[in-house]
């Protein structure tokens, strides 16, 4: 009987030891912090690792996660500067920096941060017109973060960022904005088309101008080339004629006038033959047989010393 009583006391002692160990030995996970109270008063903060508490004196009052937390900010109605109501919701990112302040500085830091985010967002939206709320999301997010960071500092909480998720204006405003955007798109399309047509006309005019200039330059060069060719031809014929007259003159005893008279007689007979071939009616001079007299009359204008000299030299 005594043995059973002693065994019972040992069992109770072992249970008591186990309970004491459970109450005193604490293992804090990584990225966590435990706030310890001693006799109802804040004592210390336990971070990751193994810790021993004073039995029945120290109590873990709060457990805090040191990881970045994501809070959903519910949708709310905000009024813009131009009196348009829009529904906006967002996401808030924060992190506990001082665990004891988050435990004693406010009863619920998450709920408080969400409420501050909503009130700060309403204040920022009230300073902007509707169009700018869509354009300046980055500015809105930054201003909300600055307001929250200043307010949550006594709570030991650091607001990292705030992101607007959706901005939903009323249906009537959305329809008006859609019409405005459609009109802007049509306007840009008409402007782009007109600019394209204008550039096309300019290009065509520039092309026609360049073609006309090139054509005129070509015609000018063709005329110059033809004139140069005719002049060269005339010079060649003249030089050949002069050379022929010189040779004939040498054969006639260096008599240039006789050579010229011979050339005139040949030309007269040749041209008269051409006239006879070209038409049915022919006017025949009365003294047609006197070709020598005709040549003599034409050669009176040839004077020695002009044109071909007596010596047969070319002038």
pLDDT tens figures, 269-290: 676 666 656 555 555 555 555 5
pLDDT at position 61: 92
Judged against a pLDDT cut of 70, whether residue 26 lies above it is answered with yes
Confidence (pLDDT) at 2? 57
**Per-residue pLDDT at 92 exceeds 70:** yes
d(CA 284, CA 79): 118
- The mean per-residue pLDDT over the stretch 185-198 comes to 87
**Confidence label for 163 from pLDDT (cuts 50, 70 and 90):** very high
What are the residues whose beta carbons fall under 8 Å from the beta carbon of 78, sequence distance 6 or more?
A: 85, 86, 87, 88, 121, 122, 125, 126
pLDDT bracket for residue 193 (50, 70, 90): confident
Distances (CA, A) of 151 to 15, 73, 145, 157, 236: 49, 17, 10, 9, 109
Predicted local confidence at residue 279, as pLDDT: 55
Q: Are 277 and 228 in contact (CB under 8 A)?
A: no
- As a whole number, mean pLDDT of residues 97-120 equals 93
Q: What is the pLDDT of residue 93?
A: 95
Q: What is the pLDDT of residue 306?
A: 44
Over residues 288-305, the pLDDT tens digits come to 555 556 555 555 545 444
CA-based torsion, 101, 105, 108, 113: positive or negative: negative
Mean pLDDT, to the nearest integer, of 68-74?
A: 94
Residue 65 C-beta-side C-alpha neighbours within 13 Å: 6
Q: What is the pTM of this model?
A: 0.54
User: Could you tell me the pLDDT band of residue 268, with boundaries at 50, 70 and 90?
Assistant: low
Band the pLDDT of 33: cuts 50, 70, 90: very high
Which CATH number describes the domain made up of 68-169?
Answer: 3.30.479.30
Of 72, 150, 169, nearest to 111 by C-alpha is: 72
Q: How confident is the model at residue 10 (pLDDT cuts 50, 70, 90)?
A: confident
Radius of gyration of the chain (CA): 60
Q: What is the pLDDT of residue 69?
A: 94
DSSP string, the chain: -HHHHHHHHHHHHHHHHHHHHHHHEEEEPTTEEEEEEETTEEEEEE-SEEEEPPTTTEEEEEEEE-S-EEEEEEEEEEE-TTS-EEEEEEEEEEEES-HHHHHHS-S-HHHHHHHHHHHHHHHHHTTS-HHHHHH-HHHHHHHHHHHHHHHHGGGTEEEEEEEEEEEE--HHHHHHHHHHHHHHHHHHHHHHHHHHHHHHHHHHHHHHHHHHHHHHHHHHHHHHHHHHHHHHHHHHHHHHHHHHHHHHHHHTTS-HHHHHHHHHHHHHHHHHHHHHHH-S-----TTTT-HHHHHHHHGGG--TTSSB-TT--B-
Structure confidence at residue 13 as a pLDDT band (50, 70, 90):
confident
Full DSSP string of 103-136:
HHS-S-HHHHHHHHHHHHHHHHHTTS-HHHHHH-
C-alpha pair distances (Å), 192 with each of 33, 104, 185, 196, 204 = 63, 65, 10, 6, 18
Domain ranges of the chain: 1-64, 68-169
Cα–Cα dist 285/291, whole Å: 11
Mean pLDDT (the chain) is 81
Q: How far apart are CA 254 and CA 313, in angstroms?
A: 9
Q: Which range has highest mean pLDDT (71-80, 219-228, 236-245, 246-255)?
A: 71-80
8 Å CB contact between 83 and 125 = no
- Whole-number pLDDT of residue 285: 57
Per-residue model confidence as pLDDT tens digits over 117-156: 999 999 999 998 888 888 888 999 999 999 998 899 999 9
């Amino acid at each position: 009987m005594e043995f059973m009583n002693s065994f019972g006391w040992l069992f109770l002692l072992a249970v008591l030891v186990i309970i004491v160990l459970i109450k005193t030995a604490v293992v804090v996970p990584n990225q966590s912090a435990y706030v310890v109270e001693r006799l109802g008063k804040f004592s210390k903060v336990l971070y990751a690792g193994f810790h021993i508490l004073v039995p029945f004196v120290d109590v873990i009052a709060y457990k805090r996660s040191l990881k970045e937390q994501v809070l959903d900010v519910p949708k709310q109605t905000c009024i813009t500067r131009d009196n348009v109501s829009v529904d906006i919701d967002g996401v808030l990112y924060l992190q506990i920096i001082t665990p004891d302040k988050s435990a004693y500085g406010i009863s619920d830091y998450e709920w408080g941060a969400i409420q501050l985010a909503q009130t700060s967002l309403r204040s920022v939206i009230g300073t902007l017109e509707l169009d700018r709320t869509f354009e300046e999301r980055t500015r809105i997010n930054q201003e909300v973060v600055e307001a929250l960071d200043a307010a949550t500092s006594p709570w030991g909480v650091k607001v990292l960022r705030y992101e607007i998720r959706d901005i939903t204006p009323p249906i009537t405003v959305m329809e008006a904005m859609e019409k405005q955007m459609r009109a802007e798109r049509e306007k840009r399309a008409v402007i782009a088309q007109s600019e394209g047509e204008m550039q096309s006309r300019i290009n065509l005019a520039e092309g026609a101008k360049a073609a006309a200039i090139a054509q005129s330059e070509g015609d000018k060069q063709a005329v110059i080339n033809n004139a140069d060719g005719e002049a060269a031809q005339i010079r060649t014929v003249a030089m050949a004629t002069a050379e022929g007259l010189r040779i004939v003159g040498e054969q006639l005893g260096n008599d240039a006038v006789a050579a010229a008279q011979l050339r005139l007689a040949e030309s007269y007979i040749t041209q008269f033959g051409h006239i006879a071939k070209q038409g049915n009616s022919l006017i025949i001079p009365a003294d047609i047989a006197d070709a020598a007299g005709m040549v003599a009359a034409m050669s009176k204008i040839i004077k020695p010393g002009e044109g071909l000299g007596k010596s047969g030299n070319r002038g």
